[in-house]
Amino acid sequence: MSFFEVRDLALAFGGVKALDGVSFTVEAGEVFAIIGPNGAGKTTVLNVVTRVFAADAGCVLLDGVDLTNLPRQQVAQSGVARTFQNIELFEGATVLDNLLLGRHRFEHGGFASQMFNSRAARAHEDRSRARVETLIGFLDLAPYRNQRVAGLPYGVRKVVELGRALATEPRLLLLDEPASGLNPEETRELAFWIDDIRHELGVTVVMIEHDMSLVSEVADRVLAMNLGRPLASGTPAAVQAHADVIAAYLGA
């Protein structure tokens, strides 16, 4: 049994079939890429997995646990974290606060203990801060630690969002176009980070990507989608050479 499995997912918005029988499996510790033209339903897959939408049919299994009908706020607790295509950071807060919010799913004391700044609350804060500082070190965010997210450069904001997702200590990380808007240097750094995430943190990564060179370099296996249906799946080289994929997406 694979670590993460999506089986026959189907979702329709009115008459539009966003997902039409999507299935794939991901092994533990793997980097799995999903590619395809715009409107293929790639982000919809992530949205269904993270319960933004409820699937019409099919199921989602993480390590044997059925996530298909999980309440939306329990997704993080089950070990799934995601980033967003258009950055969804907390603009009014600092980088540190954004990362600390990633720790929300862990034990942090009640209302009263927070209001009175009890010893327990202080201990929780110290613990959260320590974990977040490791991430700041890992992602080189130290210079931006206390700055408001709103004024930061685009590349840094992408990294902050990645950090926030990692702060939840996920087992499965879903990245939605992590390299979009990044220059080649930042993309190379991203590739190294994804590698480190997989090897050092032991996190399984599923990423939606348009940058084929990044996909070739980082991904173990690839799924190509079009119009809500899977087209081809396999190693990056095999998928990129597949006739249907070239016709629908890559171009000859």
- Judged by the rule CB under 8 A, the positions of this chain that interact with other proteins are 43, 47, 50, 52, 72-77, 81-82, 84-86, 88-93, 97, 100-105, 108-109, 111, 114-117, 121-122, 124-126, 129-130, 151, 164, 168
Q: What is the smallest separation between the CB atom of 71 and other proteins, expressed in angstroms?
A: 8
Q: What is the smallest separation between the CB atom of 50 and other proteins, expressed in angstroms?
A: 6
Exposed / middle / buried, residue 171 (Cβ in 10 Å: 0-12, 13-18, 19+): middle
230: left (phi over 0), alpha (psi -120 to 50) or beta: beta
Our CB check for other proteins shows the closer of 44 and 240 to be: 44
Our CB check for other proteins shows the closer of 172 and 239 to be: 172
Q: Give CA separation, 79 vs 98, 108, 190, 191, in Å.
A: 18, 18, 22, 22
Q: What is the smallest separation between the CB atom of 216 and other proteins, expressed in angstroms?
A: 28
DSSP structural state of residue 25 = E
Our CB check for other proteins shows the closer of 144 and 232 to be: 144
- Residue 185 neighbours by CB under 8 Å, 6+ apart: none
223's tokens: 């799924």
Our CB check for other proteins shows the closer of 63 and 125 to be: 125
- Residue 143 neighbours by CB under 8 Å, 6+ apart: none
Cα distance between residue 185 and residue 236, in whole Å: 22
Q: What is the smallest separation between the CB atom of 146 and other proteins, expressed in angstroms?
A: 8
Q: What is the smallest separation between the CB atom of 55 and other proteins, expressed in angstroms?
A: 17
Our CB check for other proteins shows the closer of 64 and 111 to be: 111
